[in-house]
Structure 1
Amino acid sequence: MEIESVGAAYIRPGQVLTDRSALSVASRWTQAVSEADGVCVLHLSPGADPCEVARELREQGHRASPNHVFLGQPLFFGGPASRPFPVPPVSHKPGRSRSGVVVGLLDTGVAEHPWWSGGDWYDRIAPEDADAAEGAQAGHGTFIAGLLARRAPGAALRVHRVLDGDGVGDEATVVRALHRLREHPPHVLNLSFGGHTFDDRPPPLLSDAIAELAGPPVDTPTGRAAGTVTVACAGNTASDRPFWPAALPSVVGVGAVDASGERRAPYSGHGDWVDACAPGDWLTSSFLDGSVHGGDFAGYAAWSGTSFATALVAGAVADAARTEPAREVVRRMLDGHGARQIRDLGVLVPASL
């Protein structure tokens, strides 16, 4: 699909997201409407500006935004390893016991790998994940899945593909996937992608969907409070410009520190909207098997970026959630008591791989 740059943000040309309440108001700009999973995408008539239409709908009290494009990190914005590099096999022995904690992973999909071949630790790959090994950034989800498996042994993984093999997705696809998670919400949700908005304001439908997943505390059969903790990357923009969804107040935004663990990684997004950080340089994990990205990979790679620091933080929350609600884990993690703080990156979370 086409991508257009507006105000240093990327959008789908001629598309606006809203809900059904705005359809009659927006009819004068609308050529067609596609609706699925509670999200309406207005396909605008030629000449209609998605940003102006979204502004006018908001002024009338409707939830609306251009269909922003989101990019998986770090391939598009660089970093010390803006592409993955092959490494020898990385040792990991999957645990046999299950913790009862579920981690949701919205990304490029997860390819088959020896670490989980024949196991049941993650929901089977859906039909749309069949090409999870095809594309310039196809191994992104597989790499993150391995970090989660090592950081939170015993947790189950629920995979939904929202980015294509080049690491490109959009707000409509993400919001629809979030709505599909409502029936069986995960304890922790890993979002290692994002982008800027045309007006630097939070995208309302995305914000609503994440807040709804968090929900109020509810008694569960296990006695734990329900409510999804969402963890998202601060982006490899080397900027303090808000990066969404990480900058949402209901999300744990994660930046990256360099190999020293003392300083912000040069590529990491930063600012008062970043809540936590973890090592992001030259991490090793599961990857695709075969010749991709111009190098020979045998199922393992080294890669750098805030995407992977995010997986370490999400995994740390999921691991601790074995014994207490994930919300309580995050509250304790971010309160700063006894924890190291990195300027403009928040609380430092150790890798512990």
Structure 2
Amino acid sequence: MTIDYIPEAPKAGPSEKFGPSWQGFTLPREILDRHGAKVLDPWAVGLDDGETRPDSTVYRADVLLVPAHLLANRDDTDWINSALGTVGLKLSEESVERARDREPAREIAWLPAVLTVAEGAVDVKADAWPALRAVRRALREEPDILTDREGLEKISLDHLFVGSATSGIGSLDLGGEPATSGHAVTDEPGGTSRPGYGRTPVTVVAGPPRRRTPEELGGPRITVVTLDTGVAAHPWFRPVTDPDAFLTVDPDGQQLIEDTHPAYQGRDIARLVGYEDLGHLPNPLVGTLNSHTGHGLMLAGLIAQIAPDARVLMYKVMHSDGVVPGEALHAALDRLLALLDDGQAVDVLCCSFGGFAETGDAAMQALFDKVNQLRARGVVVVNAAGNYATTRPFYLAALSDTAVPGPPLAPMLGVAAKNPDGTIAIFSNEHPAVRWRAPGAMVVSTFPPQFRGAQNATLSTGERASLDCDAMGTHCAWSGTSFAAPIVAAAIAAELTKTVRQVGVDRVERARTVVETMINDKVSRPEVVPI
């Protein structure tokens, strides 16, 4: 297994310099409804004079992400409500009160604020995009307001990101991902002799790799943080309560993520609860496995195969349908910053998800700023390139090579997927910032054996049956840049493990040295010794 670094940035094709603006999420209606979301249609929105037409994105339909200090100040919320009143909207009082009850964050925190219809308004639809435009319009008309109310310009949509695995977003189709939409690999595994990229049960006869004890290691374990679907029981992993477990959780931090769910008044919108992957079914009456069930455990197993001496700290920010709410992502990053400031170790962050933005890099600036605060503390950030076979920027991976003024930061990497023969996987995105390629097609890792769906084997004759792709067992083969990213993250963790006996080392310099070493040497993980 090799990991490749591309010295020269990939060049975009002549007809798709940034990817067509329409190419983005095509989530099924039931997924959008489950999360109170909508797709921004660039051709169905109003424009002011001089305003640039947006690109497509997915966002919570009636939620804005607002800096917490603005929500906590009555004068600031009054100004925001005055701007929103021009389109018949206001911030819900419940959202404002929740922000005022929250402890002040050490860094700027973004909280979800639900939009409601303003008093006296008639026939108004609560939509965050026109609401955001109303705030920006008011700022253009009153630019001096930023002198006293810093942060108003940072109000944004509550974007929904998606996991980068090729088994679809909430349906048996991939929702526009070309591995099964437009190429000859549309059949479920076991149905024909043609290969597919989707989740497939496999049998692994080997056990987990040997893990050295803390005494043998001689230093602290390297911590790889994954933001994903949560943990689940598996024969390879000790319980998360074990003091030296490979797969670990942070219940207090997870509670902070859970508490950021938008303050809806009794509205039934999918919410993240606890740190376990619960294997929620997209339709309990049908019973098939959800598209990203087991996604987080798959990442943990890949890291375990390459860097068993490390530990994985997982936060559940992804629903089992693959959706990652923006407010949950911000809350997880806030928690990591707090842990670092309290002296706890975070060495690598792996993000196997991403999304498209309506105004490019600017729409993701708040998230990029927060990630850069982690990088300034020595955390290497590894991002999946996305599975839409496009060169359109997919965030956060598209920001991986963006220059940041000031002192050097730990590296940030964008990772594309390779097929077993080394070719670029047909589903994998490309972008000038995506400079790394790792195996991401039909890689084998751990899966929760307790999760079984309702699909039957294609052929069954009593005791004999063909492969049932909805009954996974303890391992599966799966594809996506979702799985290329943790392979690179694990290789970095394995290199960092070689430094754990060193003391007094600058964390940023250590991170940069390790990644520079990987760039200079063609990385092969794990090392293979013939027997």
State the TM-score, normalized to the length of structure 2: 0.58
Q: State whether residues 384 and 415 of structure 2, in contact with CA within 8 Å, keep that contact through their aligned partners in structure 1.
A: yes
What's 1:70 paired with? 161
What's 1:315 paired with? 490
Q: Distance in 2 between matches of 1:54 and 1:213?
A: 28
What's 1:109 paired with? 230
What's 1:333 paired with? 515
Q: Distance in 1 between matches of 2:113 and 2:498?
A: 45
Q: Which range moves more in the overlay, 281-290 or 127-136?
A: 127-136
Q: Distance in 1 between matches of 2:300 and 2:517?
A: 28
Q: State whether residues 231 and 277 of structure 2, in contact with CA within 8 Å, keep that contact through their aligned partners in structure 1.
A: no
Mark the structure with the bigger radius of gyration.
Answer: 2
Q: 1:90 to 1:52 in 2, by over 3 A?
A: farther
- How far the C-alpha of 1:288 sits from its partner, in A, is 1.6
What's 1:220 paired with? none
> How do 1:17-36 residues align onto structure 2 when only pairs under 5 Å count?
17-20=65-68, 22-23=70-71, 24=76, 25-28=79-82, 29=84, 30-32=90-92, 33=95, 35=99
Kindly tell me the number of residue pairs found equivalent between the two proteins: 334
Structure 2 residue ranges without an equivalent (≥5): 1-34, 41-54, 85-89, 117-123, 147-152, 169-173, 180-184, 186-195, 215-219, 252-272, 282-289, 341-345, 403-410, 456-469, 500-506
Corresponding letter in the other structure for 1:71: V
Q: 1:332 to 1:145 in 2, by over 3 A?
A: closer
Q: Distance in 1 between matches of 2:374 and 2:392?
A: 26
Q: Which range moves more in the overlay, 43-52 or 163-172?
A: 43-52
- How far the C-alpha of 1:335 sits from its partner, in A, is 8.0
- How far the C-alpha of 1:352 sits from its partner, in A, is 2.9
- Over the aligned positions, Cα root-mean-square deviation in angstroms equals 2.7
- Equivalent residue of 1:42, what SS? strand
> How do 1:240-319 residues align onto structure 2 when only pairs under 5 Å count?
240-248=391-399, 249=402, 251-261=412-422, 263-290=423-450, 291-292=452-453, 294=455, 295-319=470-494
What's 1:51 paired with? 129
What's 2:297 paired with? 142
What's 1:235 paired with? 386
Report whether the alignment pairs 1:121 with 2:236.
no
Q: State whether residues 256 and 277 of structure 1, in contact with CA within 8 Å, keep that contact through their aligned partners in structure 2.
A: yes
Q: 1:173 to 1:335 in 2, by over 3 A?
A: same
Q: Distance in 1 between matches of 2:334 and 2:302?
A: 25
- How far the C-alpha of 1:134 sits from its partner, in A, is 3.1
1:118-176, Cα deviation, whole Å (9 max, x unpaired): 45123247471234333411200000010011111111111100011111121111011
Return the structure number with greater helix share.
Answer: 2
Q: State whether residues 18 and 205 of structure 1, in contact with CA within 8 Å, keep that contact through their aligned partners in structure 2.
A: no
Corresponding letter in the other structure for 1:95: R
Q: 1:5 to 1:334 in 2, by over 3 A?
A: farther
- How far the C-alpha of 1:242 sits from its partner, in A, is 0.8
Report whether the alignment pairs 1:170 with 2:325.
yes
Q: 1:273 to 1:90 in 2, by over 3 A?
A: farther
Structure 1 residue ranges without an equivalent (≥5): 216-225, 341-348
- Equivalent residue of 1:149, what SS? helix
Report whether the alignment pairs 1:212 with 2:386.
no
Q: Which range moves more in the overlay, 163-172 or 20-29?
A: 20-29
- How far the C-alpha of 1:351 sits from its partner, in A, is 4.7
Q: Distance in 1 between matches of 2:426 and 2:384?
A: 15
What's 2:255 paired with? none
What's 1:133 paired with? 279
Q: 1:326 to 1:139 in 2, by over 3 A?
A: farther
- Equivalent residue of 2:371, what SS? helix
1:260-319, Cα deviation, whole Å (9 max, x unpaired): 21x321111111011311011110000021423732221100001100000100001111
